[in-house]
Amino acid sequence: MPAANYDQLYHQKLMSPDEAIKTLARDTSLITFGCYCGTPPRLTRAFCEAAAADYFTGTPDVYLLRSGKEVVDQYINVEVLKRIRLLCPFLGGSVRQLADRAQEMSESHPDLIIPHYLPEHFSLYARGVLARRGKPDVHLFQVSPMDEHGYFSFGVDGSMSIPLAFAAEKLIVEVNPNMPRTFGPGVIHVSQVSTIIEHTSELTIVPEKAESPEDSKIADFVADLVPDHACVQLGIGAVPNEVGKRLKHKNDLGVHTEVLGDTMIELIQAGNVSNRYKQLDVGHSVFNVALFSNRDYYDFMDNNPTMACHPAHYVNNPHIIAQNDRMVSVNSFVEIDLFGQVASESVNWRQISGSGGQLDFVRGAFRSKEGIAVLAAHATAKNGTVSKIVPRLQNIVTTPRNDVSFVVTEYGCTNLFGMSTSERAHALIELAAPQFRDELREEARKLTIY
């Protein structure tokens, strides 16, 4: 088909956001959205306005994964929350604030539907949607402008968007000139799209977190574990950023990561990443979500052939992760007990984030040839008044003790793999802040593991 035909088809499908939402059947029952930068802000507003106006005859299920505050705030409306059921696999940041606000509003509006949390590994999110509720009636997501071949790029959101988009009965895209074009399976042709809207908006910018002396000490321990030619997964935040700074003397690193953050781009730009020694996706930095504090980093990704955006069922699949040698995975935790059980998504049984990809990468990296899985965090919380190393976990388990190996705090690094329960207790107490160690030893004796 000549390029002129693509343009003609594009303009035939182009309409206003309100018109686009009104193309949905009134009995639509399952709606999914893109994640973070893939969430279409203007379509979200139009959708929430239609829901509040009682456009839908039933109560559609709406999957909202992770999105910026300006998008999530569209849902903080009694009339919206009475008429849809939000399903959230991640209750961090603005989504948690939405859930808390909904809980408050429900006291005076008992017919309001409080968002539901879905406990699933990131690698299985899309599978959970399809297995439990079938194919989405519609998937709404933000894309890069159409290229000369008639293709849109999913940009920096592969996560759930790629599998759900290809499964959905209907696709509505929001074309944003700020969305970078990336490589990988996240492309969709104009002929496959039902409806198009155009809207220019800034991509999500995450605030930089100032590093602390504890972050620096933790990063020193972690960086020492990373060899040349390692394939690295780092998250976002102060500790990953500090680890990244210390990897600038490493050579020929590879990238296979859930979230591509600032520190990864800085390593790529500094020449520390070549992706030459990977066993899969050689020459490509693989990710499923990109999220930066610097707008220029999104520009760096645009039309960069080394940037490969894949879905979470590929990036986070432990069997895929394990195929890259020297895989190094670095994640954080909220609490770890003396048996080695790890809580990373809740505080006092209250959900504060999600299971995410932690266990996916812990298991994948551990099974990689010469690979390691690191769980790192400050030894204390609340200005040193609370120990993150506790006798018994009174919280939701994210990573079972049998999967935990390297643990790092500012007080040291230990590898629990192969240790007895007693050896684990001894080793973990040495990673605790000194003011808590005697108490932990006493509790360990009561548990007969010291």
Please give the CATH architecture assigned to the domain spanning 3-198: 3-Layer(aba) Sandwich (3.40)
Q: From the candidates 120, 214, 258, 266, give the one annotated as an active-site residue.
A: 258
pLDDT of res. 207: 87
Residue environment code for 205-238, b if the CB has 16+ CB neighbours within 10 A, otherwise e? ebeeeebeebbebbbebbbebbeebbbbbbbbbb
| Active-site annotation holds for 345 | no
Q: Rounded to an integer, what is the distance from CA 357 to the centroid of its chain?
A: 7
pLDDT, tens digit only, all 450 positions of the chain: 666 789 999 999 999 999 999 999 999 999 999 999 999 999 999 999 999 999 999 999 999 987 888 889 999 999 999 999 999 988 888 899 999 999 999 999 999 999 999 999 999 999 988 988 899 999 999 999 999 999 999 999 999 999 999 999 999 999 999 999 999 999 999 999 999 999 999 999 988 888 899 999 999 999 999 999 999 999 778 888 899 999 999 999 999 999 999 999 999 999 999 999 999 999 999 999 999 999 999 999 999 999 999 999 999 999 999 999 999 999 999 999 999 999 999 999 999 888 889 999 999 999 999 999 999 999 999 999 999 999 999 899 999 999 999 999 999 999 999 999 999 999 999 999 999 999 999 999 999 998
Of the candidates 242, 204, 209, the one whose C-alpha atom is nearest the C-alpha of residue 226 is: 242
Q: What is the pLDDT of residues 371-390, one digit of tens each?
A: 999 999 999 999 999 999 99
What is the DSSP track for 115-139? PEE----GGGHHHHHHHHH-S-SEE
3-state SS, one letter per residue, for 178-241 = CCCCCECCCEEEHHHCCEEEECCCCCCECCCCCCCHHHHHHHHHHHCCCCCCCEEECCCCHHHH
pLDDT of res. 1: 62
Residue type at position 100: D
The beta strands (E) that lie in 146-284 are given as: 151-153, 171-175, 187-189, 195-198, 231-233, 254-260
Please give the CATH architecture assigned to the domain spanning 213-446: 3-Layer(aba) Sandwich (3.40)
Q: Is 426 exposed, middle or buried (0-12, 13-18, 19+ CB in 10 A)?
A: middle
**β-pairing verdict for 231-233 and 327-331:** parallel
Q: How is the chain split into domains, by residue range?
A: 3-198, 213-446
Half-sphere exposure of 331 (CA within 13 A, CB side): 29
- Are 175 and 7 in contact by the 8 Å Cβ rule? The answer is no
- Are 141 and 178 in contact by the 8 Å Cβ rule? The answer is no
CA angle 266, 268, 269 (to 5 degrees): 65
DSSP helix/strand/coil, 309: strand
CA–CA gap between residue 379 and residue 211 (Å, rounded): 15
Q: Is 106 exposed, middle or buried (0-12, 13-18, 19+ CB in 10 A)?
A: middle
| Backbone φ, ψ for residue 180 (5° rounding) | -70, 150
Fold match, 3-198 / 213-446: yes
pLDDT of res. 92: 82
Residue type at position 420: S
Name the token pair of 303: 């039309």
Name the token pair of 288: 């499923």
DSSP helix/strand/coil, 46: helix
Name the token pair of 94: 């603005």
